[in-house]
């Protein structure tokens, strides 16, 4: 079994890519909705939540852990790798590929404060952004749209445009989806920036998950998908259905 977690529902975008590559492997997804969003939380608290989520998934039988959350990856990836006895796959914003394809030298990164203000992101900028202007945009309102399943409509369109259009006006031609929530809003983002290249690292992370599953000889199962939340399953269920495209049973996770 492969276990994935996020602060909320955004990590379902990663689940979708993993499912596409590994259709017969059993997956379990945990949304830490009781503590969503992670972005404004202190780094130490995010680390504790990430450890709790990983431990819960392992207790359910997960043999690979995927941190399907940029904020949790920034805060806790190395700690989880040091403490857990299973492989850990983490995420980081796709700044390097964005810099490779920008023509204007202006790249926009849509993410949470926890990601954009973290040491991991600062190191990415230092390593790869020589000569490129990196425009950082904190987007808590967009996270909330996805959590509630509001992926279309006038309000969602206006909120996305408010975050994206100023970047295009600043000559940004490449947008990095630095939060796993934002692929769910990709259609609206593309409408607000029709000429921009959009970078989503979900497919690359899924490819790495497939490599790890092969390296630890993780055998295919029956292709099941379990979903759980630390919040209220009844509250979370509508958002899950809107993001996934169909209703999924939601379990209660406690520890």
- DSSP collapsed to 3 states, 226-238: EEEECCCHHHHHH
Query: Do the first three CATH levels of 2-91+202-252 and 95-199 match, i.e. the same topology?
Result: yes
For the chain, the first-to-last Cα distance in angstroms comes to 20
The mean pLDDT of 30-49, rounded to a whole number, is 95
The predicted structure's pLDDT at residue 244: 95
pLDDT at residue 1 in the model: 95
- Reply yes or no on whether 214 is catalytic: no
CATH code 3.30.565.10 for 95-199: no
Closest CA to 6 of 249, 236, 242, 166: 236
> Is pLDDT above 90 for 217?
no
- For range 110-117, the mean pLDDT: 92
User: CATH number of the domain at 2-91+202-252, please?
Assistant: 3.40.50.1860
pLDDT computed for residue 119 by the predictor: 87
| Coil/strand/helix, residue 110 | strand
- What pLDDT, in 10s, does the model give residues 155-209? 999 999 999 999 999 999 999 999 999 999 999 999 999 999 999 999 999 999 9
Task: Assign 37 a pLDDT band (cuts: 50, 70, 90).
Answer: very high
Three-state SS for 173? coil
Give yes or no for a contact between 10 and 68, defined as CB atoms under 8 angstroms apart: yes
What is the percent of the chain where pLDDT is above 90? 93
Of residues 36, 53, 69, 227, which has the active-site annotation? 69
- In the chain, where the domains are located: 2-91+202-252, 95-199
Average pLDDT across the chain, whole number: 95
Given the residues 36, 53, 139, 179, the one annotated as active site: 179
């Amino acid at each position: 079994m492969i276990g994935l977690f996020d602060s909320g529902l955004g990590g379902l975008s990663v689940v979708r890519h993993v499912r596409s590559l590994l259709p017969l492997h059993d997956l379990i997804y945990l949304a830490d909705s009781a503590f969503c969003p992670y972005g404004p939380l202190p780094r130490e608290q995010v680390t504790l939540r990430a450890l709790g989520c990983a431990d819960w998934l392992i207790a359910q039988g997960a043999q690979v852990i995927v941190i399907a959350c940029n904020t949790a990856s920034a805060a806790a990836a190395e700690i989880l790798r040091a403490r857990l006895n299973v492989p850990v796959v983490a995420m980081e914003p796709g700044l390097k590929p964005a810099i490779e394809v920008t023509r204007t030298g202006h790249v926009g990164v849509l993410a949470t404060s926890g990601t954009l203000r973290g040491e991991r992101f600062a190191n990415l900028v230092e390593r790869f952004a020589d000569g490129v202007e990196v425009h950082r945009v904190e987007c808590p309102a967009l996270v909330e749209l996805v959590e509630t399943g509001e992926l279309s409509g006038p309000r969602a369109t206006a909120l996305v445009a408010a975050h994206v259009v100023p970047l295009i006006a600043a000559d940004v031609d490449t947008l990095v989806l630095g939060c796993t929530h934002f692929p769910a809003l990709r259609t609206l983002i593309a409408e607000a920036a029709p000429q921009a290249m959009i970078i989503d690292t979900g497919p690359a992370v899924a490819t790495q998950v497939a490599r790890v599953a092969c390296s630890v000889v993780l055998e295919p199962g029956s292709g099941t998908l379990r979903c759980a939340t630390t919040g209220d399953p009844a509250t979370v269920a509508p958002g899950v259905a809107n993001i996934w495209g169909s209703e999924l049973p939601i379990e209660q996770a406690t520890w």
